[in-house]
Amino acid sequence: MSLITVKNYTVRSDLLYTETDEWVKIEGDVATIGITDYAQKQLRDVVGVDFVEKGKKVKRGDAVATLDSVKAASDVYTPLSGEVIEVNETLLEAPQLINNDPYENGWIIKIKVEDKEEIRELLTPQKYAELISSRVEKK
Protein backbone atom coordinates (compact mmCIF):
# COMPACT_ATOMS: atom_id res chain seq x y z
CA MET A 1 0.00 0.00 0.00
CA SER A 2 1.35 3.38 -0.89
CA LEU A 3 0.37 6.79 0.41
CA ILE A 4 -0.40 10.05 -1.30
CA THR A 5 0.38 13.10 0.81
CA VAL A 6 -1.41 16.39 0.18
CA LYS A 7 -0.02 19.14 2.43
CA ASN A 8 -0.08 17.28 5.79
CA TYR A 9 -2.99 14.95 4.89
CA THR A 10 -2.56 11.29 4.02
CA VAL A 11 -4.58 9.49 1.33
CA ARG A 12 -4.16 5.72 1.06
CA SER A 13 -3.85 4.39 -2.47
CA ASP A 14 -5.67 1.11 -1.68
CA LEU A 15 -9.00 2.72 -0.71
CA LEU A 16 -11.86 4.52 -2.46
CA TYR A 17 -13.27 7.84 -1.24
CA THR A 18 -16.31 10.12 -1.17
CA GLU A 19 -16.67 13.87 -1.58
CA THR A 20 -17.94 13.93 2.03
CA ASP A 21 -14.59 12.56 3.30
CA GLU A 22 -15.38 8.91 3.96
CA TRP A 23 -13.05 6.12 2.87
CA VAL A 24 -14.23 2.70 1.69
CA LYS A 25 -12.39 -0.61 1.60
CA ILE A 26 -14.15 -3.23 -0.54
CA GLU A 27 -13.58 -6.90 0.28
CA GLY A 28 -15.93 -9.14 -1.68
CA ASP A 29 -19.42 -7.86 -0.89
CA VAL A 30 -18.39 -6.17 2.37
CA ALA A 31 -17.48 -2.49 2.55
CA THR A 32 -15.58 -1.15 5.55
CA ILE A 33 -16.20 2.58 6.01
CA GLY A 34 -14.41 5.24 8.02
CA ILE A 35 -13.47 8.89 7.78
CA THR A 36 -10.34 10.15 6.10
CA ASP A 37 -7.24 11.66 7.64
CA TYR A 38 -8.39 15.03 6.25
CA ALA A 39 -11.80 14.69 7.94
CA GLN A 40 -10.44 13.66 11.33
CA LYS A 41 -8.02 16.60 11.32
CA GLN A 42 -10.90 18.98 10.54
CA LEU A 43 -12.93 17.57 13.44
CA ARG A 44 -9.95 17.59 15.81
CA ASP A 45 -10.40 15.44 18.94
CA VAL A 46 -13.22 12.91 18.53
CA VAL A 47 -14.73 12.27 21.98
CA GLY A 48 -17.79 10.14 21.17
CA VAL A 49 -19.45 7.99 18.51
CA ASP A 50 -23.09 7.00 17.93
CA PHE A 51 -23.90 4.31 15.35
CA VAL A 52 -27.02 3.11 13.59
CA GLU A 53 -27.96 -0.35 14.79
CA LYS A 54 -26.55 -3.54 13.31
CA GLY A 55 -28.95 -5.11 10.81
CA LYS A 56 -30.28 -1.74 9.60
CA LYS A 57 -30.77 -1.38 5.85
CA VAL A 58 -29.18 1.83 4.57
CA LYS A 59 -29.23 3.67 1.27
CA ARG A 60 -26.26 5.51 -0.20
CA GLY A 61 -26.07 8.94 1.45
CA ASP A 62 -27.78 7.91 4.71
CA ALA A 63 -26.13 8.99 7.96
CA VAL A 64 -24.77 5.84 9.66
CA ALA A 65 -22.88 7.40 12.57
CA THR A 66 -22.44 10.68 14.40
CA LEU A 67 -19.03 11.71 15.64
CA ASP A 68 -18.84 14.11 18.55
CA SER A 69 -15.67 16.16 18.73
CA VAL A 70 -14.48 19.07 20.79
CA LYS A 71 -15.28 21.20 17.74
CA ALA A 72 -18.69 19.91 16.57
CA ALA A 73 -20.92 16.93 15.91
CA SER A 74 -20.55 15.50 12.43
CA ASP A 75 -22.45 12.80 10.56
CA VAL A 76 -20.77 9.95 8.69
CA TYR A 77 -22.61 8.94 5.52
CA THR A 78 -22.66 5.57 3.83
CA PRO A 79 -21.29 5.77 0.29
CA LEU A 80 -23.03 2.50 -0.63
CA SER A 81 -26.44 0.91 -0.06
CA GLY A 82 -26.72 -2.27 1.95
CA GLU A 83 -27.12 -3.76 5.41
CA VAL A 84 -25.04 -2.74 8.42
CA ILE A 85 -23.34 -5.98 9.49
CA GLU A 86 -20.86 -4.64 12.03
CA VAL A 87 -20.05 -1.48 13.97
CA ASN A 88 -16.69 -0.78 15.56
CA GLU A 89 -17.74 -1.03 19.20
CA THR A 90 -14.14 -0.39 20.30
CA LEU A 91 -14.81 3.26 19.41
CA LEU A 92 -17.40 3.51 22.20
CA GLU A 93 -14.56 3.19 24.74
CA ALA A 94 -11.76 4.64 22.59
CA PRO A 95 -13.17 7.22 20.10
CA GLN A 96 -9.68 8.73 19.81
CA LEU A 97 -8.79 5.82 17.48
CA ILE A 98 -10.54 7.81 14.75
CA ASN A 99 -7.91 10.53 15.18
CA ASN A 100 -4.94 8.26 15.91
CA ASP A 101 -5.56 5.57 13.27
CA PRO A 102 -8.38 6.61 10.91
CA TYR A 103 -7.59 4.03 8.22
CA GLU A 104 -7.17 0.92 10.38
CA ASN A 105 -8.41 0.65 13.98
CA GLY A 106 -10.57 3.78 13.58
CA TRP A 107 -12.95 2.22 11.01
CA ILE A 108 -16.59 2.96 11.80
CA ILE A 109 -18.99 0.47 10.17
CA LYS A 110 -19.13 -2.47 7.78
CA ILE A 111 -21.97 -3.02 5.38
CA LYS A 112 -22.94 -5.87 3.09
CA VAL A 113 -23.07 -4.12 -0.28
CA GLU A 114 -26.43 -4.37 -2.05
CA ASP A 115 -25.60 -2.67 -5.37
CA LYS A 116 -22.03 -3.06 -6.60
CA GLU A 117 -22.74 -0.57 -9.40
CA GLU A 118 -22.58 2.21 -6.78
CA ILE A 119 -18.88 1.45 -6.26
CA ARG A 120 -18.19 3.08 -9.65
CA GLU A 121 -19.34 6.42 -8.24
CA LEU A 122 -16.62 6.52 -5.56
CA LEU A 123 -13.52 8.65 -5.99
CA THR A 124 -10.12 7.17 -6.77
CA PRO A 125 -7.30 8.07 -4.37
CA GLN A 126 -5.93 10.49 -6.99
CA LYS A 127 -9.29 12.25 -7.42
CA TYR A 128 -9.72 12.52 -3.65
CA ALA A 129 -6.19 13.93 -3.30
CA GLU A 130 -7.09 16.56 -5.94
CA LEU A 131 -10.26 17.41 -3.99
CA ILE A 132 -8.29 17.94 -0.75
CA SER A 133 -5.69 19.97 -2.60
CA SER A 134 -8.35 22.30 -4.01
CA ARG A 135 -9.88 22.76 -0.53
CA VAL A 136 -6.52 23.51 1.09
CA GLU A 137 -5.65 26.07 -1.59
CA LYS A 138 -8.93 27.95 -0.91
CA LYS A 139 -8.07 28.45 2.77
DSSP notation for 87-130: E-THHHH-TTHHHH-TTTTT--EEEEES-GGGGGGSBPHHHHHH
CATH number of 3-115: 2.40.50.100
Cβ neighbors of 12 (< 8 A, separation 6 or more) are: 1, 3, 4, 23, 103, 125
Under a CB-based contact definition with an 8 Å cutoff, are residues 62 and 76 in contact?
no
Task: Return the pLDDT at 139.
Answer: 62
User: Which residue type, as a one-letter code, is found at position 131?
Assistant: L
Domains of the chain: which residue ranges?
Answer: 3-115
Task: Return the pLDDT at 8.
Answer: 86
Average the pLDDT over 87-98 and give the result. 97
Average the pLDDT over 106-124 and give the result. 97
Rounded Cα distance between 69 and 98, Å, is 11
Across the chain, which distance is largest between two alpha carbons, in Å? Answer: 41
Question: Which 8-state DSSP code applies to residue 134?
Answer: H
